[in-house]
Amino acid sequence: MKQAMITILLICLAAFAFAEAESSPMNTYLSKPTSSSFSLAVTSLSDAISKGEKPNMSKLSLAYIAELEADRLMKELIANADSMAAGERFTLANMLLGKDDYMNAIPLYDALNRDYPNWSCPWRHKGEAYFNQKNYEAAVISLQQAIATNTEHYDAYVWMAISLNELGRYTEALKNLETALTLSPEEEESDDEAISQERIDALYKELKKKAH
């Protein structure tokens, strides 16, 4: 809701600022968004900012079209994902994961799992996506595959412990976390975002109390 309100406000501000300039690069982009029209609009707004011409409104407008263009490019990439290289698809899926767009991220990981079943990282990231959806059973299944394809995948063990903890499987969770603590995350071939040590330490203490 908050994001929608901000977007509506930006639309109103942009419309007001450029109402008198129907042929402005900004309006050209809004009427026909392409990479070329976006580039021209950015140049125009950047020039206005540097010249001090309604700098705040120009910055708001620049931020608005940047968000529009990012969204347009993401939709284009998702539509053409099948033709992308594996690394590109993985990067796209991770970007969507970072945006909490699990609906689009998970099918991309599914495709990578199908095409590259022995590649551990897509399995691990899909496990995180399922975890964030609170689908802990599916997260565990995916993380099991991540570990099966790379028995030294540090983050897979950590996410497995986190997921099993949510399912009340405390002994298994502790075992996975203790395995993770024997590994070095720096040795892992992955672009995983680090899970904070504070979170890991807190989980370890929690599991030591709960596990039987």
- Mean pLDDT, rounded, of the chain: 89
The lowest-confidence range among 22-36, 57-71, 142-156 is: 22-36
| Maximum average pLDDT range among 11-15, 101-105, 194-198 | 101-105
The CA angle 137-131-151, to the nearest 5 degrees, is: 75
**With 50 as the cut, is the pLDDT of residue 165 above it?**
yes
- Output the pLDDT for position 184: 78
Whether residue 138 contacts residue 116, with contact meaning beta carbons closer than 8 Å, is answered with no
More confident of the two residues 204 and 10? 204
Domains and CATH numbers, the chain: 2-78 (no CATH), 86-210 (1.25.40.10)
- Output the pLDDT for position 8: 55
- Output the pLDDT for position 110: 98
The lowest-confidence range among 14-23, 86-95, 138-147, 180-189 is: 14-23
| Cα 92 to Cα 99: distance, rounded to the nearest angstrom | 11
- Output the pLDDT for position 19: 46
| pTM of structure | 0.83
Q: What is the mean pLDDT of residues 20-42?
A: 87
- Output the pLDDT for position 11: 56
Q: What is the mean pLDDT of residues 94-119?
A: 97
The lowest-confidence range among 32-36, 69-73, 188-192 is: 188-192
Q: Is 65 exposed, middle or buried (0-12, 13-18, 19+ CB in 10 A)?
A: buried
- Output the pLDDT for position 24: 87
Whether residue 142 contacts residue 123, with contact meaning beta carbons closer than 8 Å, is answered with yes
- Output the pLDDT for position 138: 98
